[in-house]
């Protein structure tokens, strides 16, 4: 007997995780995540689902990050009636994560429809609402790590600690005699809060994330990491401006709060003014407080209510931060694609005395990646913003295993009888990890699926591809045309102004207009010919 596996997201990109497993008796999903990053990639969220939501019997959710869970509300809105299986911690976090995602969808649709440059366009429709999100959360079914359960007829599943974020799990699946392991996101060794990842051994197939498959991080202890943060805080304070940290609301914010509270209590950062300006981060922190007794590195105490830490939930409180200097502002989203962080970037990027400190992965095409890569100007909410602030980066807060840790995790899962699949990574990351995995002989063969591909999986045999991927999606991965347009638009006026001769400047404008018109005219002629 065999089952089929269809990859619906996070293939050669780091968002939109969603794998469909289908047997003769049932169909289940492993994760159902939102695409994030470039506008072209985000547009995939508005396409029809790759499957009939009503035909899916169950979903097993690896963890609460939106790139793994953010399409669950749409799935439910389109007729899914099964259960969403996950750990208790993930269920608690999803109550806030999904609700916030629904509010963001509604707000972003309203904001885009108000923009003057969209006048006359078709209205932008949110892919789901906050009400849809809460309906999805009510369908969660918490299960304990290591316990077998049957989410659908013919499927046996159990969850294993992935060490990534609170409640995160790798997913072991048995069906039709096939045994596979889906990594979800794997955490690094010696991470704050959580024990190292664990998993049983011996599978037909292993599906492993590859986020940091192309890089090795310097090994740092918790104290060394705090020393790095202490140094950044001191240098920012010396400049006199704000220290703005784009931080994922879930896990990254709480790790920073742990370190800041420790540094503050020991007098190493003076009278720090720390503001958590993210309602979602504030709510997620209450879940960490709930499980404080079981978290590592906290001494069993709730460290998140330290006197130096202030939570700004009100919009007016958030706006008041614009008048401050010397503040430490933690705000979401971590890749600067939405939320209040864009507001703080708008005010702090032009300030030479401010510092923007990145502490997490920045996907290709995201605003955070553009800033980190050295852009002198960026586009935020339809406006051009000059980058004068100091741009800094600490890599030791990553919640993902690096190259060496991923290879060790894969080896620990062996022997692998069939194939190792590498997903959830950009092309270069996957290519390097694949080469090393093959060199170490970690599996008979290593496959790199594309979005839309379907494989037949059998016990003890190599996977057989029975459907090819979507060629149209390849162009949506990474840096897209809208990133190029933003870069062109930001610098266009300045470059035209640099042409001193008035006639030459007008000629340049006329030539650019002619080039654009030539493409538009050619397309119109093509459509006319087709008729």
Q: Please tell me whether residues 259 and 380 are part of one structural domain.
A: yes
Residue 483 forms part of a structural domain: no
Number of domains in the chain: 3
- The CB density around residue 271, as the number of other CB atoms within 10 Å, is 8
CB 332 within 8 A of CB 278: yes
**Nearest-angstrom CA–CA distance, 104 and 128:** 10
Q: Please tell me whether residues 35 and 101 are part of one structural domain.
A: yes
**Nearest-angstrom CA–CA distance, 451 and 155:** 24
Residue 490 forms part of a structural domain: no
Q: Please tell me whether residues 293 and 356 are part of one structural domain.
A: yes
3-state DSSP call for residue 43? helix
Residue-number span of the structural domain to which 437 is assigned: 2-215+399-474
Residue 341 forms part of a structural domain: yes
pLDDT of amino acid 118: 62
Q: Please tell me whether residues 371 and 253 are part of one structural domain.
A: yes
Bin 10: left if φ > 0, else alpha if -120 < ψ < 50, else beta: left
Q: Please tell me whether residues 314 and 372 are part of one structural domain.
A: yes
Q: Please tell me whether residues 237 and 189 are part of one structural domain.
A: no
**Nearest-angstrom CA–CA distance, 199 and 124:** 44
Bridge partners of 175, per DSSP, are 178
Q: Please tell me whether residues 252 and 380 are part of one structural domain.
A: yes
Q: How far are the Cα atoms of 69, 206, 398, 425, 466 from residue 248, in angstroms, in the given order?
A: 15, 28, 11, 18, 38
Backbone angles phi and psi of 170, in degrees to 5: -90, 150
Given 363, 393, 423, which residue is the final one in a domain?
393
Q: Which helix (H) or strand (E) holds 384?
A: strand 383-386
∠116-117-120 over CA atoms, to 5°? 85
Query: How many Cα atoms are found within 13 Å in the side-chain-facing hemisphere of 183?
Result: 31
Q: Please tell me whether residues 237 and 264 are part of one structural domain.
A: yes
pLDDT of amino acid 227: 97
For residue 54, what are its two tokens? 């009503």
Q: What is the CATH number of the domain that holds 379?
A: 3.40.50.10890
Per-residue pLDDT of the chain (531 residues; tens, 9 = 90+): 799 999 999 999 999 999 999 999 999 999 999 998 777 788 899 999 999 999 999 999 999 999 999 999 999 999 999 999 999 999 999 999 999 999 989 988 888 788 766 667 888 889 999 999 999 999 999 999 999 999 999 999 999 999 999 999 999 999 999 999 999 999 998 899 999 998 899 999 999 999 999 999 988 899 999 999 999 999 999 999 999 999 999 999 999 999 999 999 999 999 899 999 999 999 999 999 999 989 999 888 889 999 999 999 889 999 999 899 999 999 998 999 888 999 999 999 999 999 999 998 888 788 999 999 999 999 998 789 999 999 999 988 989 999 999 999 999 999 999 999 999 999 999 999 999 999 999 999 999 999 999 999 999 999 999 999 988 777 666 555 565 666 676 677 778 888 888 888 888 888 888 888 888 666 555 555 555
In total, the chain counts a number of residues equal to 531
Given 393, 413, 431, which residue is the final one in a domain?
393
Given 336, 364, 393, which residue is the final one in a domain?
393
Q: Please tell me whether residues 434 and 504 are part of one structural domain.
A: no
Q: Please tell me whether residues 285 and 312 are part of one structural domain.
A: yes
Residue 197 forms part of a structural domain: yes
Q: Please tell me whether residues 248 and 167 are part of one structural domain.
A: no
Residue 460 forms part of a structural domain: yes
Q: How far are the Cα atoms of 211, 222, 259, 298, 494 from residue 187, in angstroms, in the given order?
A: 11, 15, 18, 18, 45
Q: Please tell me whether residues 267 and 365 are part of one structural domain.
A: yes
Q: How far are the Cα atoms of 371, 421, 450, 499, 502 from residue 453, in angstroms, in the given order?
A: 33, 12, 6, 50, 54
């Amino acid at each position: 007997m065999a089952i089929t596996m269809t990859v619906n997201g996070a293939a050669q990109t780091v968002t939109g995780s969603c794998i469909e497993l289908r047997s003769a008796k049932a169909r289940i999903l492993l994760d159902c995540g939102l695409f994030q990053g470039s506008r072209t990639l985000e547009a995939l969220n508005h396409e029809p689902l790759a499957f009939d939501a009503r035909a899916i019997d169950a979903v097993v959710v690896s963890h609460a990050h939106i790139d793994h869970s953010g399409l669950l509300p749409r799935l439910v809105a389109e007729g899914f009636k099964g259960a969403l299986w996950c750990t208790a911690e993930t269920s608690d976090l999803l109550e806030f994560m999904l609700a916030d995602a629904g509010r963001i969808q509604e707000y972003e649709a309203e904001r885009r429809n108000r923009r003057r440059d969209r006048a006359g366009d078709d209205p932008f429709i949110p892919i789901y609402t906050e009400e849809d999100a809460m309906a999805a959360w009510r369908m969660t079914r918490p299960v304990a790590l290591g316990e077998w359960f049957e989410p659908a007829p013919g499927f046996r599943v159990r969850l294993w600690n992935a060490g990534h974020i609170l409640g995160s799990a790798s997913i072991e699946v048995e069906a039709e005699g096939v045994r596979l392991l889906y990594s979800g996101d794997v955490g690094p060794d010696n991470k704050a809060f959580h024990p190292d990842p664990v998993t049983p051994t011996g599978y037909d197939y292993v599906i492993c994330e590859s986020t940091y498959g192309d890089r090795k991080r310097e090994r740092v202890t918790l104290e060394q990491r705090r020393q790095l943060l202490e140094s950044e805080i001191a240098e920012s304070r010396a400049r006199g401006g704000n220290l703005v940290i784009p931080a994922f609301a879930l896990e990254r914010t709480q790790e920073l709060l742990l370190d800041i509270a420790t540094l503050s209590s020991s007098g190493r950062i003076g009278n720090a003014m720390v503001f958590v300006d993210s309602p979602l981060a504030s709510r997620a922190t209450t879940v960490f407080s709930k499980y404080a007794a079981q978290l590592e590195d906290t001494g069993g105490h709730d460290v998140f209510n330290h006197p130096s830490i202030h939570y700004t939930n009100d919009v007016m409180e958030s706006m008041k931060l614009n008048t401050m200097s010397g503040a430490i502002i933690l705000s979401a989203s971590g890749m600067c694609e939405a939320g209040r962080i864009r507001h703080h970037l708008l005010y702090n990027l032009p300030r030479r005395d401010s510092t923007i400190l990145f502490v997490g992965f920045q996907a290709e095409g995201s605003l955070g990646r553009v800033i980190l890569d050295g852009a002198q100007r960026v586009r935020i909410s339809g406006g051009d913003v000059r980058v004068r602030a100091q741009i800094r980066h600490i890599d030791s807060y990553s919640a993902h295993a690096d190259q060496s840790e991923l290879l060790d995790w894969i080896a620990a899962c062996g022997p692998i009888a069939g194939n190792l699949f590498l997903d959830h990574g950009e092309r270069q990351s996957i290519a390097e990890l694949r080469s090393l995995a093959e060199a170490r002989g970690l599996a008979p063969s290593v496959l790199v699926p594309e979005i839309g591909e379907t494989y037949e999986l059998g016990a003890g045999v190599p996977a057989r591809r029975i459907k090819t991927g979507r060629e149209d999606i390849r162009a949506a991965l990474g840096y897209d045309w809208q990133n190029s347009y933003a870069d062109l638009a930001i610098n266009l006026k300045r470059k035209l102004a640099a042409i001193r001769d008035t006639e030459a400047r007008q000629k340049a404008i006329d030539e650019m207009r002619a080039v654009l018109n030539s493409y538009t005219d050619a397309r119109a002629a093509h459509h006319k010919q087709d008729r």
